[in-house]
Structure 1
Amino acid sequence: MKKILALLVSVVLFAGLFAGCAKPNQPGGGATTDNRKQTDKKIGLATDEGGRGDKSFNDAAIAGLDKISKEYTVTPQILESKAADQYEPNLKALTQSNDLVFGVGFKMHDAMDAVAKANPNKKYAIIDSVVEQPNVMSINFKEEEGSFLMGVIAGKMTKTNKIGFIGGVDMELIQKFEAGFIAGVKAVNPAAAEDLINRKNVRYAGNFIDVNKGYELAKQLYNSGVDVIYHAAGGVGIGLFNAAKELKNGGKTVWAIGVDSDQALTVPDKADIILASMMKRVDVATYTASKDLIENNFQGGKVVVLGLKEDGVGISNTINPAVTKDVLDLADKYKKAIVDGTIKVPTKPGDVKAFQAPEIK
């Protein structure tokens, strides 16, 4: 009996030794091939108050880091900022363990400025602001140009000649979305632009996270006869989509236009009420800056501005079937006129009244 037990133990030990000697990528080896390029660089990102899951601005920024992590052996560290008093602590925490730290959103300007100044040997990048520090790359966009194209689509798609705009916070950056959008509407449908120019059909939520507020503001506009609403409001925009879907299910024809990401894809259950989305390619910005870091091409102190010409803004790939080819062709003609300088899109709502776009057919 003792001899049998000893023999069994020897077999088990031998089998274990054999398994342990299996080559990593052979069947039974228990390891997988990692084809990513090797790097020891570490990257961190602090969101603004919208946080992960806003299906828009912050998620677009994170998507760029997701892409870089599929190409290089880097695991980005993401910290969510739920309030302004978390911006600086989050940036400081990320600085301790990363070579490049992103701050997402204009609200992070002061915190980024302070942290970057205190850590001159670290590298930083901020989205939607300019921080004048030699170790900070500032990445900005011509939101008014992409929004203009959304205005062309809205101006052609409205049946009531009433169009709305919902913004997050009423300040200079979001007003660029508003101004560009109204200018686009005015270029193709001046009558529909009137109540946008006088701001009768413009609403601001005061934040970028209150879904219920977005729903409330959208219902106000839709109930007043508006049939197309464009938002630049982060998570608030989900409320817009909810309102539009509810009304559509009730038999009313209303539309919404998304922003930052292709929102027919990020919010697929609302795709049927989204005409198109204005792409603000924050994902390209975070991916490119990260790649520059990894390949030792990062340029601190640089200010990057991305518009239609640089493919930094534009029309989403997903277009609702209701948007006809002639409308898309017209939007493309206006795009070319903006790129070649024929049209300079206003960045302030107050300048739209005097704006006159050349007639394009």
Structure 2
Amino acid sequence: MSIFMDGFADGAAKYDADNGTTTTLLGWDKAAQTGSFTGDFENQANGQNLAKGFIDQGADVIMPVAGPVGLGAAAAAQEAGNVKLVGVDADWFLTAPDYAPIVLTSVMKEISAAVYDTIEQASNGKFTSDPYVGTLENGGIGLAPFHDNESLVSADLSAKLDELKASIISGDLVVESPSSN
């Protein structure tokens, strides 16, 4: 879970460094590995209340790494009317269609890649019980399309995302998280 939040924090920092801007990140401190949590993955009201607190502090993009609790955050974002969401695990534009208009994109766990790789290893007699780590390189994680919010992402920013993805895959840009060790 914190690996997603670390990536979001690093992405904001990279954007700021490249564009001379200052982004305020609420709810997560990468260095301390601490943040704001609801205490469970089910209570959507808790997610809605936590997200509302972030919105009251000026958040305009929320990434709820919270399972079903994230739907509460989506409700708060939708109610605010000027807040976008970055979904987690699957493409929320498709899996949470009631919130599709506010879904900017989603960070996806591409489980099918893990299943395919595991079956391929087993069929070749090379299966191990080592943990599977999804990466951009092996297709185990990805970023969903911007769908109906594509107009909010400039061509330059979209090209920069493609460039950063290629740099991560090639190893020229190293992404680190204490949670990935």
Question: 1:24-63 counterparts in 2 under 5 A?
Answer: none
1:222 aligns with 2:49: no
Which residue identity lines up with residue 340 of structure 1 in the other structure? S
1:315 aligns with 2:146: no
1:265 aligns with 2:94: yes
Separation of aligned partners in 2, 1:302 and 1:175? 21
Q: Is the 8 A contact 1:182 1:193 kept in 2?
A: no
Which residue identity lines up with residue 113 of structure 2 in the other structure? V
1:332 aligns with 2:162: yes
Q: Is the 8 A contact 1:212 1:236 kept in 2?
A: yes
Which residue identity lines up with residue 115 of structure 2 in the other structure? T
Q: Report deviation, 1:180.
A: 1.5
Give the secondary structure class of the aligned counterpart of 2:142. strand
The answer for the alignment partner of 2:14 in structure 1 is 187
The answer for the alignment partner of 2:133 in structure 1 is 305
1:255-303 per-residue CA deviation (whole Å, 9 max, x = no partner) reads 110011011000111111010000111233235545766x575724243
Q: Report deviation, 1:341.
A: 1.3
1:191-241 per-residue CA deviation (whole Å, 9 max, x = no partner) reads 215655488xx4212222221111111101001111111121111111111
Give the secondary structure class of the aligned counterpart of 1:279. strand
> Are the structure 2 counterparts of residues 297 and 231 from structure 1 closer, same or farther at C-alpha, using a change threshold of 3 Å?
farther
Separation of aligned partners in 1, 2:167 and 2:124? 37
> Are the structure 2 counterparts of residues 297 and 209 from structure 1 closer, same or farther at C-alpha, using a change threshold of 3 Å?
farther
> Are the structure 2 counterparts of residues 300 and 328 from structure 1 closer, same or farther at C-alpha, using a change threshold of 3 Å?
same
Which residue identity lines up with residue 233 of structure 1 in the other structure? A
Q: How many residues align?
A: 170
Q: Is the 8 A contact 1:186 1:193 kept in 2?
A: no
Structure 2 unpaired stretches of 5+: none
The answer for the alignment partner of 1:107 in structure 2 is none
Q: TM-score, structure 1 length as denominator?
A: 0.43
Q: TM-score, structure 2 length as denominator?
A: 0.81
Separation of aligned partners in 2, 1:292 and 1:345? 26
Separation of aligned partners in 1, 2:145 and 2:54? 27
Give the secondary structure class of the aligned counterpart of 2:137. coil
Separation of aligned partners in 1, 2:103 and 2:67? 15
1:209 to 20, 26, 42: 42
Separation of aligned partners in 2, 1:266 and 1:291? 28
Which residue identity lines up with residue 41 of structure 2 in the other structure? F
Q: Report deviation, 1:317.
A: 3.1
1:178 aligns with 2:5: yes
1:63-91 per-residue CA deviation (whole Å, 9 max, x = no partner) reads xxxxxxxxxxxxxxxxxxxxxxxxxxxxx
Separation of aligned partners in 1, 2:87 and 2:58? 20
> Are the structure 2 counterparts of residues 298 and 238 from structure 1 closer, same or farther at C-alpha, using a change threshold of 3 Å?
farther
> Are the structure 2 counterparts of residues 204 and 265 from structure 1 closer, same or farther at C-alpha, using a change threshold of 3 Å?
same
Separation of aligned partners in 2, 1:209 and 1:236? 5
Q: Max radius of gyration: which structure?
A: 1
The answer for the alignment partner of 2:176 in structure 1 is 346
Give the secondary structure class of the aligned counterpart of 2:114. helix
Give the secondary structure class of the aligned counterpart of 2:132. strand
1:13-72 per-residue CA deviation (whole Å, 9 max, x = no partner) reads xxxxxxxxxxxxxxxxxxxxxxxxxxxxxxxxxxxxxxxxxxxxxxxxxxxxxxxxxxxx
Q: Report deviation, 1:314.
A: 1.4
Separation of aligned partners in 2, 1:194 and 1:232? 14
Structure 1 unpaired stretches of 5+: 1-173, 350-361
1:239 aligns with 2:46: no
Q: Is the 8 A contact 1:289 1:298 kept in 2?
A: no
Q: Is the 8 A contact 2:114 2:132 kept in 1?
A: no
The answer for the alignment partner of 1:279 in structure 2 is 108
> Are the structure 2 counterparts of residues 311 and 291 from structure 1 closer, same or farther at C-alpha, using a change threshold of 3 Å?
closer
Q: Is the 8 A contact 2:113 2:138 kept in 1?
A: no
Q: Is the 8 A contact 1:208 1:234 kept in 2?
A: yes
Give the secondary structure class of the aligned counterpart of 1:270. helix
Separation of aligned partners in 1, 2:36 and 2:3? 14
